[in-house]
Chain A
Amino acid sequence: MAAAGASGGQTIGRSSFSRVAVSTAASSSTSAGVKLGPNGAAFVSSGIPDLDRILGGGFLLGSVVMVMEDSDAPHHLLLLRSFMAQGVVHKQPLLFAGPMKEPRLFLGTLPAPVASSKEDGRQRVMGAGTSSDGRTSDEALRIAWQYKKYFGEDKTSHAEHKNNKQEFSNDFDLRKSLERHLLNSQNIECVSTQDGDTLGELQDRCSTFLSKHLRKDGGNLNAGRIAIQSLCAPQCGYFEKDWDMVSFIRSLKAMVRSSNVVAVITFPNAILSNSFCKRWHHLADTLLSIKAIPDEDKDLAKLLTGYQDMVGFLHVHKVAQTNSQVPVILEASTFSLKLRKRRSLVLERLNQAPVDGSAGPSHAASGSCSSSSQGSQLDF
C-alpha cells in the first residue's frame, strides 16, 4: 500500500494524520491483473468488463464465485471461458476441472482478446444507447426516455480510464481462440471430474494449488484462478453424494479465503435437491445465475428493447464483500446478456420498451407498475 503520512513531517502543528491515497493504478507492488480496492480488497477481472463494473471492481481475491447454470442455455461456459482467458492473458496460474474425459480440450475454446482499436474504444464509451453506426453528434432531437443508458463512468476522463481498463481487464473476441503458445505454459493444470467416485483427487489438486498462493502480509499479490465446471454434473461418479460435495465446497472456501486465489464454480442448479441448493447458495461469496430466453416470444419482444440481440439473462444474487460490514447493494440485479457483433459479451440492464398505444393494454401497463418476475428494476 502507498506510504501514508509523507507530508505530515513538513507541517508542524497540524495533526499527523493524513489521508492515504489509494491509487487504482498502483502496479508497483502488485502484479498485472490485480486491482486494489477499499478495505484491503484486491480484485481480479472476470474477463467481462461489464461484469467487473457491476460487481464493484471484479472478483474479490480469496472469494468463491458460484454460477447457477440453466439447463437450457450454455452461457455459463461463456463466463467460465472469459474468466480463464483473462487469467491466461495476465499469466496467472490456472487450475481447471471439468466433467469431461479430456479437460485440456476445453482450453482450446478460450477466446482471444480483442485487438484494441479506436472503434472499439469509442463504442465502449457510448455504450448501448447510440445507434450502431456510432455517430457522436446527434443532429436530430432525441427524446431520452432511457436516459440512464447515457450516464455512468463515461463522464470521467476517457483516456485515463481506457489505459487502466486495458491493463486490468480485456474484451474478448469469442470468435477467435487464444493463441496456442499461451496455453502451453507450465502453470495451467487440468483435472477431470468424470472418473472416480469421490472428490478426493480434486480436493488434493486444489490444496496443492492453493498452498502455492498463500496470502502473506506485505508480499507480492500473485493471483491465481481456479475454475470448476459443472461441479455436480450427473456424469460424475460422486453425483449422489450430496454431503461430500458440500464438505468439498466448505474446505475449498476455507482454503481460498486465506490465499490470493479466486475460485469460480458453475453448477446446474436444477439437479440438486432444494435443501442442498440452499446450502450451496449460502456457501457462495458471490452468486450469479443464468437464465435462458425463449425464442421468438412476441410478448417479451414488446416488453423489452433489444430483445432480438439478447441471448440470456444474468441475475446477481450476492456480491462478496470483505473486511466491511456494509453489504453491496446493487441498483439492478438482472442483466441481459448480449453478443455485440457476435463476438464480445456485453451485459446490460433491462430496459422497458416504450408503451405502445396500439398494442393490448395489459402487458405494457403491467410492466410499468410491477417488477418483472426476475426481480429486476424496470426503469425508463
Chain B
Amino acid sequence: MAEAAVRYLRDGRLEGEHAPALSVSGSLQCCPLAARAMLHVTAALASHAASGKSQARGLVIVAFDRSPQVYLDFMRRRGLDPNTFNRCVRILDCYSDPIGWKQKIQSQQHQESSVEPCSMDKENVTIFRSVKDVDKLMCSIIDLGRGFEGEDKIYFTIAIDSISSMLKDASVSSISGLLSNLRSHDQTSSIFWLIHSDLHEPKFSRAFECLSTMVASVEPAVVDSVYEEEIPGNMSFLEKNYSNAKFYVRLKRRNGRVKHLYEELHVEGNDVKFISSSVSAEVNQNLLPKVQFNLELSEKERSDRANVVLPFEHQGKGEPIRIYDGRRSLPEAQQDPNLTASAILDEVKLPKSATSKGEIHYIRDSDDEQPDSDEDPDDDLDI
C-alpha cells in the first residue's frame, strides 16, 4: 500500500542501522504510471517534512527525468504552498544540462572562460552539470542536504528520479556504491528511487532491488497473454493500461520476513489514487507445494458434468417410452402402430450413421415392467 510505504520512509532510520530504501520499479508498458507513483511518494514525503511529522527535515530531489517545474506544479496541486516548498525541498537539476554542453555553448557565444559545474538557478534548484562523475554527484547531494535549517542533527530524505537515466552515464557499480554510501551516511533519513526494470539486464535490476529494503513494483493492469504486449490499434487495451496499474509492495522486515501488500493505482486527471483491493491469492502461490491431484472442479468441468446424459429412462426430454416386442424387420415395423416409426428408424440408422454423440436408447422388455425397475435390484424382493 502506498500509505504504508510512505509511512515507512517517513519514520526513517533507527539508531545504528542504515537508512531504509524504497525502490519503485516500473516497466515500459506502464512507464507514466510508475512516474506518477514516484511523484506521489515525493509529494507525500515533502508534505510530511513540511508539517514536521517525519524524521527528515527536508527532501532532496535528484531530477534526471523531469524538469524541476514538474515537481513544483505537482506539489502545488497537492496543496503544498511555494514557501514551504522552498523551505523543505531542494532539487538537484540533472535534467536541464547534464553534461554541461549548454553552458559551454553559452560561454563560447559570450566568450566566457569559466565553466561551473553547479549553479543556482532559482532559490532551491541547483543545476548539476557533470553526471558522469558520481563522486561529485554524491558530494552535491550531501551538501544540499546539509543546507536544511534546524537544530540538532538534521536528517534529510533523498529521492532519485530515475536510476535508469543515471545508468546512461555511469556504471552499475558506481551507482550502487553511491546508493550504499548514501544509505550509510549518518544524516540520511531515507532514500527512494525509480527504476524501469525492463530497460536493463535482469541482473542489474535485481542488483538495485538487492540494495533496497522495500520494493514497490508498478505492473500493467491488463497484459495480453498471447503477445505479452499491447496489440497496436486496440485502443481499449492501451487506454486501460495508461490509466490503471497494479501496485505491489514487498516490504523486507527487520526480522527477515517479507510482507506483501497489494493495491491498484488509478490515474484521475492529473492526480493518482491508490485503491486497496483484496489481496491477490496468486501472490503467495509459489511457496505452496504443487498439488498433485485436484479436489475442486473448475467451471467448465462443472458444466460438463451437468450435461452428461445418464442411462435412465426418465430424462425429462419428452421421449416416448419404447417397448420391445421382438420384431426387428423394418417394413413390418412401419405398418405396426405400436412401435413409433422414429424409434425403429433410429435403431436402424444408428449403426449406419455413426453419430459423434453417443446416445443411449432404452427399449423396455414389456409393458408390465415398471419404469426404471432394473435400477434397484432390491425391488424384486418380496419380504
- Residues on A lying within 8 angstroms of B by beta carbon are 71-75, 99-101, 194, 233-240, 268, 270-273, 292-297, 299-300, 303, 311-312, 337, 339, 361-363, 365-367, 369-373, 378
A378 to B292, CA, bound (A): 15
Q: B140 on the interface (CB 8 Å rule)?
A: no
Q: B142 on the interface (CB 8 Å rule)?
A: no
Cβ < 8 Å to A, chain B residues 142-183 = 171-173, 176-177, 179-181
Q: Is the CB of B284 within 8 A of A294?
A: yes
Q: Which of B180, B255, B290 contacts A235 (CB 8 A)?
A: B180
Q: Is the CB of A361 within 8 A of B295?
A: yes
Q: Is the CB of B253 within 8 A of A295?
A: yes
Q: Is the CB of B259 within 8 A of A293?
A: no
Q: Is the CB of A270 within 8 A of B257?
A: no
B258 CB, nearest partner CB in chain A, Å: 5
Q: Is the CB of A366 within 8 A of B290?
A: yes
Q: B287 on the interface (CB 8 Å rule)?
A: yes
Q: Is the CB of A268 within 8 A of B210?
A: yes
Tell which of A72, A234, A370 has the most Cβ of chain B within 10 Å.
A234
Chain B residues in 8 Å Cβ range of A74: 256
- The verdict on A311 contacting B287 (CB below 8 Å), with A234-B173, A270-B206 known, is no
A369 to B289, CA, bound (A): 9
- The verdict on A366 contacting B291 (CB below 8 Å), with A270-B210, A373-B286 known, is yes
Given contact pairs A366-B290, A370-B292, A372-B288, a sample of 7 additional A-B residue pairs in the complex whose CB atoms are under 8 Å apart = A234-B207, A237-B173, A239-B172, A295-B259, A297-B287, A300-B287, A373-B289
Chain B residues in 8 Å Cβ range of A293: 256-258
B259 CB, nearest partner CB in chain A, Å: 4
Chain A residues in 8 Å Cβ range of B253: 295
19 A-B residue pairs with Cβ-Cβ distance under 8 Å, sorted by A, are: A75-B256, A233-B176, A235-B177, A236-B173, A237-B177, A239-B173, A240-B173, A268-B210, A270-B209, A271-B203, A293-B258, A295-B253, A295-B260, A299-B284, A312-B257, A369-B292, A369-B293, A370-B289, A371-B289
A352's nearest neighbour on chain B, judged by CB, is B289
B313 CB, nearest partner CB in chain A, Å: 35
Chain B residues in 8 Å Cβ range of A311: 255-257
Q: Is the CB of A71 within 8 A of B209?
A: yes
- Residues on B lying within 8 angstroms of A by beta carbon are 171-173, 176-177, 179-181, 184, 201, 203-204, 206-211, 250, 252-253, 255-260, 284, 286-296
A293 to B184, CA, bound (A): 26
A297 to B279, CA, bound (A): 11
A235 to B286, CA, bound (A): 30
- The verdict on A240 contacting B258 (CB below 8 Å), with A273-B203, A300-B288 known, is no
Q: Which of B177, B179, B206, B257 contacts A295 (CB 8 A)?
A: B257
Chain B residues in 8 Å Cβ range of A100: 180, 184
- The verdict on A73 contacting B172 (CB below 8 Å), with A270-B210, A299-B284 known, is no
A290 CB, nearest partner CB in chain B, Å: 9
Q: Is the CB of B290 within 8 A of A72?
A: no
Q: Is the CB of B258 within 8 A of A73?
A: yes
A363's nearest neighbour on chain B, judged by CB, is B288
Chain B residues in 8 Å Cβ range of A233: 176, 210
Chain B residues in 8 Å Cβ range of A370: 289-292
Number of A-B contacts (CB under 8 A): 126
Chain B residues in 8 Å Cβ range of A295: 253, 257-260
Chain A residues in 8 Å Cβ range of B184: 100-101
Chain B residues in 8 Å Cβ range of A268: 207, 210
Q: Is the CB of B256 within 8 A of A373?
A: no
Q: Is the CB of A73 within 8 A of B180?
A: no
Tell which of B179, B257, B289, B294 has the most Cβ of chain A within 10 Å.
B289
Q: Is the CB of B257 within 8 A of A294?
A: yes
Chain A residues in 8 Å Cβ range of B296: 361-362
A348 CB, nearest partner CB in chain B, Å: 16
Chain A residues in 8 Å Cβ range of B201: 273
B17 CB, nearest partner CB in chain A, Å: 11
A233 to B210, CA, bound (A): 9
Q: Is the CB of B252 within 8 A of A73?
A: yes
A294's nearest neighbour on chain B, judged by CB, is B258
A235 to B171, CA, bound (A): 10
A369 to B291, CA, bound (A): 8
Q: Which of B171, B257, B288, B295 contacts A73 (CB 8 A)?
A: B257
A218 CB, nearest partner CB in chain B, Å: 45
A270's nearest neighbour on chain B, judged by CB, is B206
A-B pairs with lowest CB-CB distance, top 8: A234-B176, A234-B207, A73-B256, A71-B210, A366-B291, A295-B257, A235-B177, A235-B176
Q: Is the CB of A72 within 8 A of B211?
A: no
Chain B residues in 8 Å Cβ range of A362: 291, 294-296
Q: Is the CB of A234 within 8 A of B208?
A: yes
A372's nearest neighbour on chain B, judged by CB, is B289
- The verdict on A292 contacting B206 (CB below 8 Å), with A297-B287, A363-B288 known, is no
A89 to B317, CA, bound (A): 87
A123 to B296, CA, bound (A): 44
A237's nearest neighbour on chain B, judged by CB, is B173
A233 to B253, CA, bound (A): 21
A219 to B232, CA, bound (A): 75
Q: Is the CB of B258 within 8 A of A72?
A: yes
Chain B residues in 8 Å Cβ range of A235: 173, 176-177, 179-180, 211
Q: Is the CB of B291 within 8 A of A297?
A: no
Chain B residues in 8 Å Cβ range of A378: 289
Q: Is the CB of A365 within 8 A of B295?
A: yes
Q: Is the CB of B206 within 8 A of A71?
A: yes
A293 to B257, CA, bound (A): 5
A161 to B290, CA, bound (A): 41
Chain A residues in 8 Å Cβ range of B203: 270-273
Tell which of B208, B258, B294 has the most Cβ of chain A within 10 Å.
B258
A276's nearest neighbour on chain B, judged by CB, is B203
B252's nearest neighbour on chain A, judged by CB, is A72
Q: Is the CB of A299 within 8 A of B288?
A: yes
Chain B residues in 8 Å Cβ range of A373: 286-290
A270 to B250, CA, bound (A): 16
B207's nearest neighbour on chain A, judged by CB, is A234
Chain A residues in 8 Å Cβ range of B180: 99-100, 235
A197's nearest neighbour on chain B, judged by CB, is B173
A99's nearest neighbour on chain B, judged by CB, is B180
A273 to B201, CA, bound (A): 9
Q: Is the CB of A296 within 8 A of B256?
A: no
A298 to B22, CA, bound (A): 26
B290's nearest neighbour on chain A, judged by CB, is A370
Chain A residues in 8 Å Cβ range of B181: 101
A242 CB, nearest partner CB in chain B, Å: 10
B283's nearest neighbour on chain A, judged by CB, is A294
Tell which of A294, A296, A361, A378 has the most Cβ of chain B within 10 Å.
A294
